[in-house]
Amino acid sequence: MKTTLDLPDHLMRQVKQRAVQQGRPIKELVADYIRQGLHGSGALPQAARREVLEVDTEGFPLFRTDPQLKRPPIDVPTALRLEQATLMQEDCQRAGLSA
């Protein structure tokens, strides 16, 4: 079901950044968070618990990775590429095109 939500800009930025960080579509991530809230589960998905995304005072993302993860930290060009790919995929979906 499609719906429209009016969310604060800072919250939506965090959601988009988390989706990029986890390599997941925004709608999937939001649906998981809503399910967790409805079920009263305070636990976050495994990927969200192991990596923390923060936003600094100027609005730039700060990625802090768990040293136990077996992958290198995300650099800025990679993060921007992932964000652009996510936005392009969302635009294609809204336009009814295959990504």
- Which pLDDT score, from 0 to 100, does residue 50 have? 44
**Is the pLDDT at 2 greater than 50, yes or no?**
yes
60 vs 87 pLDDT, higher one: 87
Question: Total structural domains in the chain?
Answer: 1
- Residue 1 inside a domain? The answer is no
- Residue 3 inside a domain? The answer is no
Instruction: Give the list of residues 6+ apart from residue 94 with CB closer than 8 angstroms, or none.
Output: none
Rg (CA), the chain: 14
What average pLDDT does the structure give for the chain?
Answer: 78
Number of residues that make up the chain: 99
- Residue 49 inside a domain? The answer is yes
- The arithmetic mean of pLDDT across residues 82-97, rounded, is 87
Helix (H) or strand (E) holding 4: none
- Domain membership of residue 41 as a residue range: 9-95
Note the pTM of the prediction, 2 decimals.
0.41
**Is the pLDDT at 19 greater than 70, yes or no?**
yes
Helix (H) or strand (E) holding 11: helix 9-22
CA atoms of 34 and 6, how far apart (whole Å) = 15
- The arithmetic mean of pLDDT across residues 69-76, rounded, is 72
